[in-house]
Amino acid sequence: MHHVIGALLIGAVTGGVAGNRDRRRPLVRRLVKGGIMAKRKVQAAGATAIAETQRLVEEARAELDQPETGLHQ
């Protein structure tokens, strides 16, 4: 679905400035750059969330493995 929205947005922008190629190219380029930047930020946030989750799992396992918890196996 997000691909369709992006295509509609680019189509609307290029259609609005179709008469002037000099104006259209920088505008579309900015849109593409913005999309790339957004994708990188989402990927970085995902990597951070995965790393934090792994740390939490390791901490939980370490706590369960301590003899005083009575839960280690």
Q: What is the pLDDT of residue 57?
A: 97
**pTM (2 decimals)?**
0.53
Domain ranges of the chain: 2-69
Q: What is the pLDDT of residue 22?
A: 82
Alpha-carbon span 67 to 73, nearest angstrom: 9
**For the segment 10-45, what is each residue's pLDDT rounded down to a tens digit?**
777 666 655 677 888 898 899 999 999 999 999 999
Q: What is the pLDDT of residue 23?
A: 82
Alpha-carbon span 26 to 8, nearest angstrom: 18
For the segment 39-61, the average pLDDT, to the nearest whole number, is: 96
Alpha-carbon span 4 to 17, nearest angstrom: 20
